[in-house]
A and B are shown apart, each in its own frame.
Chain A
Amino acid sequence: MSPANEPGPTTAAVQAVNLVKVYQTGGLPVHAVRGVDLRVDRGEFVAIMGPSGSGKSTLVHMLGGLDGRTSGEIWVDGKRADTLNESGWAILRRQKIGFVFQFFNLVANMTVADNVELPALLGGSTPRHARERREYLLGELGLADKADASPAQLSGGEQQRVALARALANQPQVLLADEPTGNLDSRNTRDVLRLLGEVHRQGQTIVMVTHDARVAGLADRLVTLLDGMIVDDGAIAPPRRRTKPGAGDVVELRG
């Protein structure tokens, strides 16, 4: 058995064990995440859906160490992570985690190209490799001609795509994303979908909160949250095999 198939926290790309988050702000405590168990294996693409306020953002923020947990465990690439301090998390993120937020957090006084190359350089890539990776990612996202722009010169949808390129720059162990297509029109969404599909086929592990059914349609597995708990977790059936490419049909699909 390959290490990736062995059970237990040691080999998952990322894993939560009985994870709990209670926000204590002023008045009543808010039980945002209430005992989540989630194991994501290497190479999986997991979509997280659920109504607004069900705890999706809180969950992925905790998985990336951006929000502290109240109790429970987090494991990243076989290492206990919930016990790390801020700088420990910062190092772990740099090495293993790509993150795309609902808001993009680009560095304002750096060019688009530098924003994308920075994580790869911090993660130990050679400058040449970082540049090649940046050129590939921006090209795939239709942003090749924006490399020298500053983030403020870009539209919301463009900034969001740069944020995705940045998150993928150092081929992280796991990509965590919180509604990464919220600001995109349908043509840009198509570029993002194509890139996500491609990096996933190359083995990228992805955990993605999304309301966009087209994005969720790329995933292998769907996790549904309701009131801070997982109420459904299972595989999405793979596409039907088609004898000749293109012999599919929308109408019969609906049958």
Chain B
Amino acid sequence: MRLPLLALLAKEPAHGYELKQALEQIFGSAYPSPNIGQIYVTLGRLEKDGLVRGVDVEQSNRPNKKVYYCTAAGREALDEWAESPSEGPRVRDEFFMKLVLAPMTGIADRMALINRQRRHYLAIMRDLVEVAEQTDQDNRAAHLLIEGAMLHLQADLDWLERCQEELA
């Protein structure tokens, strides 16, 4: 959440609660609703690293609120984030470790492992279908995120089928 928060602050200074609302609005139900405590902790760390600066703003008959700004160092960190490639497909797949090691150690039957994993993926898919149904049709970012997760699952399922054909 560190860099997304920083990116929002590069757009305009904001306090913690505004950031929480902005994240919810942009990503909708497709992204975990961030908890306000996590946001404050993250902002504290960003401030300690010099990437943001917090300024107390007085409020009439309320406690002061802290508004955060993105610093020059923060901008640099964002540039670096934008330029670095994001993580690609997983090669270290925990399920695959189980699958390969199972017959050597006798911990599980491969067919049973594959079948269980397939149903697990479909349960996730079923959940995603529901999330998609409940997501505002106009929130395109959220729908794209859900579609991406679905396509990943499709690939995972296709790959399971390959494992079953080859290994079972």
Which of A's residues lie within 8 Å of B, judged by CB? 47, 49-51, 186, 193, 197, 211-214, 216-219, 222, 224, 226, 231-232, 234-240, 242, 245-254
Contacts and interface: CB of A to CB of B under 8 A. Distances in A.
B18 interface: no
Given A49-B118, A232-B119, A249-B33, A213 B153 contact: yes
B149 A222 contact: no
A224 B118 contact: yes
Contacts, number: 110
Contacts of B124: 253-254
A236 B122 contact: yes
B71 interface: no
22 contacts: A51-B164, A197-B129, A213-B121, A213-B150, A213-B157, A216-B122, A224-B115, A231-B111, A236-B119, A236-B122, A239-B127, A240-B127, A242-B134, A246-B29, A248-B130, A249-B30, A249-B31, A250-B146, A251-B32, A252-B32, A253-B149, A254-B149
A232 B122 CA distance: 13
Contacts of B145: 250
- 4 pairs of A and B residues whose beta carbons are closest in the complex: A217-B125, A232-B115, A246-B29, A237-B123
A231 to B, nearest CB: 6
Interface of B: 28-33, 111, 115, 118-119, 121-131, 133-136, 145-147, 149-150, 153-154, 157-158, 161, 164-165, 168
B146 to A, nearest CB: 6
Contact of A218 (B126, B150, B154): B126
A248 B29 contact: yes
State the majority secondary structure of interface residues on B: helix
Contacts of B161: 49-51
A250 B149 contact: yes
A141 to B, nearest CB: 17
A252 B150 CA distance: 14
A252 B128 CA distance: 11
Nearest to A245: B134
A253 B134 CA distance: 15
B118 to A, nearest CB: 7
A81 B135 CA distance: 44
A49 B122 CA distance: 11
Contacts of A193: 129
Contacts of B149: 250, 253-254
B31 A250 contact: yes
A47 B121 CA distance: 14
B125 A246 contact: no
A236 B131 contact: no
Contact of B127 (A50, A226, A248): A248
Contacts of A231: 111, 115, 164, 168
A235 B122 CA distance: 10
B125 A214 contact: yes
Nearest to A236: B122
Among A212, A218, A234, A253, max chain B CB count under 10 A is at A253
